[in-house]
Structure 1
Amino acid sequence: MTRPHLLAAALIAVPMLSAPVFAQGGEGADQVVATVDGQDITLGQMIVMKQSIQDPAMADLPDPALWDMMLDQLIRQTAVAASAEETAAVRAQLELQRRNTLASAAVTQIADGEPTDEELQAAYDRFFADQGSVTEYNAAHILVETEEEANALKAEVDGGAEFGAVAEANSTGPSGPNQGDLGWFTADQMVPPFAEAVAAMEPGAVSDPVQTEFGWHVIKLNETRLREAPPLEEVRAELTQMVLREKVEAEIARLVEGAQIEKTEGVDPALLSQTDLLEAN
């Protein structure tokens, strides 16, 4: 039987506790629901524990049954924890968990709430509106190793040979089997010599050989079109995430900059491998 099954069996075997009775003073997160040798178990701890449940079968239990099961587990955990020896490893792990929990809570608080329309518009202007229209090109090419080959194939096309057939028979690039078709692209997606040649062409034209780091190209420009910036509403979700991320990053930078930080000099990085140090009390 696996450990999770053993744990579940142990929990099921324990008689159910009575339904929870809250003491006078309300049901806030700090409400004590049990004590073990003076250690409090609170309602907040129970709520967080329920949030962490990943087993659908447990999550679907009625609240009274789930309450009894979780409280029993926390009682066992608290009793066992009290017997543990607090080594350097335990202290380090507890402090790391504490910092991580607090830092996560701080980030959540910073990112809480939706950006304003003004913030979204400003982000949109930075990333989309200022770009204006972008020209896209639809082209095909024949790629060969030498200028002589490129000139010869260009002469075939000029003489009436069908460009796609010549590309399919001769091009060494991955687009060759597809008659050299490159689909739609923008200039910044291509290496500069190729992009410059395409930008200077008219639809339907075939270029003279163009050299790039990949070899020699004969290019046919099929057509062009203008791609407009998307409407703000179309990219609202992406902009929202971007604005929130920027807020979090800016606040983290502010907090780190304002913190008094002192790094201990002279500590040997090789000590990272000295795991025996964690066994000390």
Structure 2
Amino acid sequence: MNQYTIALVTGGNRGLGRATALALAGQGTDVILTYRSNEEEAAAVVDAVAALGRKAVALRLDTTALDAFPDFATAVREALRDTWDRDTFDFLVNNAGSSVFTPVGGTTVEAFDLLGNVHFKGVVFLTQELLPLLADGGRIVNLSTGLARFYGEGYAIYASFKSAVETYTRYLAQELGGRGISVNAVAPGPVATDFAGGVLRDNEQVRAHLAEQTALGRVGEPEDIGGVIAALLAPGTRWITGQRIEASGGSRL
């Protein structure tokens, strides 16, 4: 590894991505973060990373726009060259996501395609596009969900695509092992973000109900997940690969 490390975090302007970028910066990692539409949020994260003494660059990326991935990779190359005088980065965190309510018997084709494009197709083809830029000995963290283990009404399609991400993670771990690249999936439980309209952040009744089902007695915060991802990218966890790490506070044990 180089004397400093660089992480690329998709969807790094808010929620879990923002928390991950800041946790990584706090342990000495520079950050390339992506945003889809809110440039001001992304700029605020860049400033927050700088306040922690690290460098950050924000690049626009729609993870459903596969045709734009080659141009995005070119932008990453330029950022690496201009900001770090490097031609590779060290960590890829596939975090970007969205939620759509998909009840069994009431799921639309549009909702299915959106979830598939964001949570699986985009992950596969963005990773493929960026692999030449990922340093040997680097690491990948893919975001899954606790809902791939326990039931959540209305999330059958979302959870199914996340299960596919977990399988893809194991295949990546095997096939990239020769380059010394470790690959793991982090599966958050209920977290207080704007996911699902922010209900886990803003609705006290829902929060209390879920807290009762959690061993640690509360809903997670973005920093809880950011800390787990940063820990998986720390020097002492290099030997972990091909694993699903659930960070749910002991939800529905």
Larger Rg: 1
TM-score of the two chains, using structure 1 as the length reference: 0.18
TM-score normalised by structure 2 residue count: 0.20
